Copies of this chain bind each other. A is one copy, B any other.
C-alpha cells in the first residue's frame, strides 16, 4: 500500500480550492483571513479525515524557524540536569517550542559536533552547559545571532547570557555546616578541571576552613576517569592514607557516588564515622544509608530564569546587554553530616 504523503497541494486539489486557503485554515488563521465558516469546516473535516500531517521541514525552510530548542548538558541522566530539563520542556511547550536533549559528556569535540549538527538543522536556540574549550563555537553562534544561554557555569571573557549559582558561597556554607557539626579534619574531593565553577567551589571550601583555623586537604581526580575504576583507586588510596580525616566534602554528586562506594569497600563501618556532604543533590542520596547531605541548586528557579532569557531573545532578535543571573542554592542536611 504505497501512500505518498499528501501535501497541501493535494488537499487543495481534492477540495478544488487554493493552497493558500488550506494553509490559512491549517494555521488557524481562517477567521483572521475572513474565510467563510463553511469552507473552514469543510477543510478541517478533510484534514482530519486524511489525518494530514504537515511537512515541517518545508515549513521551516519557508519560515526560517524550526521552533526547536536544544538543551545540552554534561549528562542528561544526572538528576540535577534532568530536573532542570523537565521544567524547560514544560515552559517551551507552552510557548510552542519543542526541546531536544543531549549530553556533552563535557567533551569539547562531541559538543562541537552537536552544536554544528543542530545549527545546520536550524534550531532556534541553545541552552548549554559549556565544557571547557568550547568558547569558539559559542562565539560563532553568538556572531550568527543564534540565541544562546549558558548555565551551570559561565565562560570568562565571553559576553554571553548565563544563569549560574554562587558556587563559592555554596561550597563555603557546606564546609561551614560540617565544621558546625563538629568535624575538624575536612577533606575536599574534586575534579581536576580548569572550570570556574570548580575553582569557586574549592575557594569556598578553603575560605570556610581558614575562618575556623583549619587547614585544607584536597584531592583532585582527572575528569576523564571519574566514572571508572582508576579514579576510585585514587579516592581509596587518599582515604586510606589520610586516616585522620573525619569528614569529606565532594565537589559533585557523581564524585560522591564514587566516593561512597570506595568508603564502603575500605570498611563497611567507615561510612558511619565519616561526615559527608555533596555539592549538587541526587535522588540517590535519599536512598543511601546513611542518607547523604547535599548543597542543592534551585532547580525551578534556574529553569525559569533560563527560559525567561531564552524566550525574550527569541522574541527580540536584537540583543541588548547579556543577562547574567547568579542564584543561591540551599543546604539540605541529612544523616551523613550529623556529628557521629
Contacts and interface: CB of A to CB of B under 8 A. Distances in A.
Given A82-B77, A140-B51, A57 B121 contact: yes
Contacts of A119: 53
A219 B61 CA distance: 53
A100 interface: yes
A55 B120 contact: yes
Given A58-B61, A77-B77, A143-B1, A53 B120 contact: yes
A26 interface: no
Nearest to A82: B77
A221 interface: no
Interface in A53-71: 53-58, 60-61, 66, 68
A226 interface: no
Interface string A90-118: 00000000101110000000000000110
Interface string A66-92: 101000000011010010000000000
Nearest to A2: B145
How often does this chain occur in the complex, in copies?
2
Contact of A287 (B2, B5, B121, B260): B260
A163 to B, nearest CB: 22
A3 interface: yes
Interface in A255-304: 257, 260-261, 264, 268, 284, 286-287, 289
A305 interface: no
Nearest to A1: B143
A60 B68 CA distance: 16
B120 A287 contact: no
Contacts of A1: 143
A119 B68 CA distance: 14
Contacts of A268: 289
24 contacts: A1-B143, A2-B145, A3-B144, A5-B144, A51-B140, A53-B119, A54-B120, A56-B120, A56-B121, A56-B122, A57-B57, A57-B60, A57-B61, A57-B66, A57-B121, A61-B61, A76-B77, A76-B101, A101-B101, A101-B102, A260-B287, A261-B287, A268-B289, A284-B284
Given A58-B61, A77-B77, 6 more contacts: A53-B120, A54-B120, A66-B121, A100-B100, A257-B287, A261-B286
